[in-house]
Structure 1
Amino acid sequence: MPADQPTILATSGGYRYGERTRVEYDHLVHHAVALSGVSGRRPKVCVLGTASGDPRWFASELDEAARIAGFEQTHLHLFPMPNLDDIEGHLSAQDVIWVNGGSVANLLAVWDVHDLRPVFRRVWERGVVLAGVSAGSICWYQGGCTDSFGPQLRAVTNGLALLPYGNGVHYDSEARRRPTIHALVADGTLGVTHCTDDGVGIVYHGIQVVEAVTETPGKGAYVVARQPDGSVTEERIEPRLLG
């Protein structure tokens, strides 16, 4: 049951500590499922852990989170080789694709080795909701800033560009994120850039912002843009509280 139009939920959240497990899915992941419009059966969610090397221990913890949430969950592992014969067919049959965080630079490099850029575009156009956290947010945009190369944040500009903007994640929780984004927008490395505090996501239909949503009160989303005089402005988008 695909969404009725191409949909992306790009976030800096989605997980919480569980009562009986280490990890549970928080409101942002459940909102990604709601955006798919699925009803009458368990939602199909495929998780990609490429950005952190497909760690099986974390996949197992997320399977517990999916059991608690009532999801029918699978994983696309690309290490040491793809675990699926028909990657595009499997992804197209999902309600939601959720991409975990880690190194966005490594994620994009591995996806390119497996020629997944056109696959994700076709899956998105078919109405499968694309979503994720951190690296799993930046990947859908033209680029952003990342610690993939070391502690000093650097630009990454080879994202999938399904969304024609830059992206800033962990905007309130890592002190260097905001000034780095502002500098990259100021010098033209990034264009208009959409940013999220921890716990916040931005919903897109096609390439248009629908709304910001949050699982944490008081957090925000932001649009950072370079003005004709060379200055940089930051406009807050007030999120709707989920749950």
Structure 2
Amino acid sequence: MPADQPTILATSGGYRMGERTRIEFDALVHHAVDLSGAHGRRPRVTFVGTASGDPRWFSYEAMEAGRLAGFDVTVLDLFPMPNLDDVPAHLLEQDVVWVNGGSVANLLAVWDVHDLRPAMRDAWEAGVVLSGVSAGSICWYRGGTTDSFGPELRAVTNGLALLPYGNGVHYDSESRRRPLVHSLVGEGTLPVTHCTDDGVGLVYHGTDLVEAVSERDGKGAYVVERVGDEVREERIDPRRL
């Protein structure tokens, strides 16, 4: 059963250290599954590691985290070739697509090679919940700030644009993120930009931001926009999951 409307959960979190495994899925991943409406069976989650080059060790960690959570996790690999015969059809069968972090510039380039932009849009429109962390958050927006090109953060502006905003991830843990977001919004490189502290996610129905949620205490979400000649930032207190 897909979500009853196009849904995105864009985050700066989703994992915690495990007791028996290296990582476990934290509350944000579980919330993505809840948003999908999957019940009465094991939720189907596809893990996408393209932004980090599909490292097999992390794919294994994700599958183990899924096993502990009671999810059926499938890994979508694009290196050295797609591991699935029909990727668009597979995505449409999922409850959640979770995209891992890494280089958002490389992620988008590889997705374009395999023509996944329309496949992701089709899945979104069909009610598959699109979600992810860091690069896996920025990709759904028009763009955001990234270290894809080197240690100095730069703008990326060729996101899938399912959401017509900019996106700022790791807003509290990486000191250069906030001033660059403000600068890019002020000069018009990014539109109104939605930002998340570590552990926070933003829920969208269609293109409407409906809620901020958090798996950690004391965290925030933010809307940064240009008003006249000023850049203004509004804090949103997230609901604790």
The TM-score normalised by the length of structure 2 is 1.00
Residue number in structure 1 paired with 2:207: 207
Residue number in structure 2 paired with 1:160: 160
Residue number in structure 1 paired with 2:13: 13
Runs of 4+ in 1 over 3 A off after TM superposition: none
Gap regions ≥5 residues in structure 2 = none
Q: Which residues in structure 2 correspond to 1:74-223 (within 5 Å)?
A: 74-223=74-223
Percentage of pairs with the same residue: 76
Deviations 1:101-153, CA, capped at 9 Å, x for gaps: 00000000000000111111111000000000000000000000100000000
Answering whether residue 237 of structure 2 is matched by residue 238 of structure 1, we say: yes
Deviates more, 1:154-163 or 1:114-123: 114-123
Deviation at 1:30, TM superposition (A): 0.0
* In structure 2, C-alpha distance between the alignment counterparts of 1:97 and 1:142, rounded to whole Å: 19
Residue number in structure 2 paired with 1:33: 33
2:218 counterpart letter in structure 1: G
Deviations 1:142-184, CA, capped at 9 Å, x for gaps: 0001000000000000000000000000000000000010000
* In structure 2, C-alpha distance between the alignment counterparts of 1:155 and 1:97, rounded to whole Å: 25
* In structure 2, C-alpha distance between the alignment counterparts of 1:194 and 1:5, rounded to whole Å: 21
SS of structure 1 residue aligned to 2:218: coil
1:66 counterpart letter in structure 2: G
SS of structure 1 residue aligned to 2:164: strand
Deviation at 1:240, TM superposition (A): 0.2
SS of structure 2 residue aligned to 1:140: coil
* In structure 1, C-alpha distance between the alignment counterparts of 2:209 and 2:185, rounded to whole Å: 19
2:87 counterpart letter in structure 1: I
1:41 counterpart letter in structure 2: R
Deviations 1:18-53, CA, capped at 9 Å, x for gaps: 011110000000000000001000000000000000
1:146 counterpart letter in structure 2: T
* In structure 2, C-alpha distance between the alignment counterparts of 1:184 and 1:101, rounded to whole Å: 22
Deviation at 1:93, TM superposition (A): 0.2
1:233 counterpart letter in structure 2: R
2:163 counterpart letter in structure 1: L
Deviation at 1:79, TM superposition (A): 0.1
SS of structure 2 residue aligned to 1:3: coil
